[in-house]
Chain A
Amino acid sequence: GENVEQHPSTLSVQEGDSAVIKCTYSDSASNYFPWYKQELGKGPQLIIDIRSNVGEKKDQRIAVTLNKTAKHFSLHITETQPEDSAVYFCAASPPYYGGSQGNLIFGKGTKLSVKP
């Protein structure tokens, strides 16, 4: 089955710097890759996603890149702010017969700390 590896497990940056989190996946049939931000005491919040037919997607300070050949995708956060501090999870969605995409396989998470 699908397996997702995420690195690094912790990341500390100065406010204003960029942060990059990388994930690799094993199932070449996976076709959807979301990123979630989880703050303490809350559920994961979808921040950006990318489908397998797209190489890059950007939303203000956040961008995601996908390399299908190498089976890896990355989250880029520019001009980091203290409120970006949280745990970030990548995920991959392998297709399931019947059209289900409800099965997200998550990485172990990256704890991002942005120092003022």
Chain B
Amino acid sequence: KAGVTQTPRYLIKTRGQQVTLSCSPISGHRSVSWYQQTPGQGLQFLFEYFSETQRNKGNFPGRFSGRQFSNSRSEMNVSTLELGDSALYLCASSLDAGISSYEQYFGPGTRLTVT
């Protein structure tokens, strides 16, 4: 079974621009969570989507948004990019069905650099 895939793997943007990152979960997984990883703050939860609905949200400004499609694929968008948004953005998928639903499997991430 293929793992979580994220595109693009690397991205360079300029301050003020917006960016869209894509995540395809493991086949059959219905929950998708997004995390930001930086050297200073570590791994921080952004939001979680299940059945095309945002089910949980972390403490990030409204510039960070996401959505999930009917096939469970998810996108996240960051508008008005700031230098501090430079980070590795990780997507994780979960089966979300019964006892195994807690396990989250991460993709390789998208490395975003804002200049």
CB-based contact A103/B42 at 8 Å? no
* A-B pairs with beta carbons under 8 A, tally: 69
Whether B56 is near chain A, meaning CB under 8 Å from some CB there, is yes
Convert B93-112 into 0s and 1s, putting 1 for each residue whose CB lies closer than 8 angstroms to a CB of A: 01010000111111111000
Instruction: Please indicate the chain B residues that have their CB under 8 angstroms from the CB of A19 in the complex.
Output: none
CB-based contact B45/A100 at 8 Å? no
Instruction: Please indicate the chain B residues that have their CB under 8 angstroms from the CB of A32 in the complex.
Output: 102
Q: Which of B's residues lie within 8 Å of A, judged by CB?
A: 4, 31, 33, 35, 42-45, 48, 50, 55-56, 58, 90, 92, 94, 96, 101-109
5 contacts between A and B (CB under 8 A): A89-B42, A102-B45, A103-B58, A104-B45, A105-B45
Q: Which of A's residues lie within 8 Å of B, judged by CB?
A: 32, 34, 36, 41-46, 49, 51, 89, 91, 93, 96, 98, 100-109
CB-based contact A43/B106 at 8 Å? yes
Which of B33, B43, B108 counts the most chain A CB atoms within 10 A? B43
Instruction: Please indicate the chain A residues that have their CB under 8 angstroms from the CB of B42 in the complex.
Output: 89, 106-109
CB-based contact B45/A103 at 8 Å? yes
Which 3 A-B pairs rank lowest in CB-CB distance, beginning with the nearest?
A102-B48, A43-B106, A106-B43
Instruction: Please indicate the chain A residues that have their CB under 8 angstroms from the CB of B55 in the complex.
Output: 96, 98, 100, 102
Which B residue's beta carbon lies closest to that of A43? B106
Which A residue's beta carbon lies closest to that of B33? A102
Instruction: Please indicate the chain B residues that have their CB under 8 angstroms from the CB of A46 in the complex.
Output: 103-106
Which of B48, B102, B105, B106 counts the most chain A CB atoms within 10 A? B102
CB-based contact A49/B109 at 8 Å? no
- Cα distance, A19 to B61, chains bound together (Å): 39
Q: Least Cβ distance of B8 to chain A in Å?
A: 15
CB-based contact B56/A89 at 8 Å? no
Which B residue's beta carbon lies closest to that of A51? B102
Which B residue's beta carbon lies closest to that of A91? B43
Instruction: Please indicate the chain B residues that have their CB under 8 angstroms from the CB of A100 in the complex.
Output: 31, 48, 50, 55-56
- Cα distance, A96 to B58, chains bound together (Å): 12
Q: Least Cβ distance of A51 to chain B in Å?
A: 7
Instruction: Please indicate the chain A residues that have their CB under 8 angstroms from the CB of B92 in the complex.
Output: 102, 104
Which B residue's beta carbon lies closest to that of A45? B106
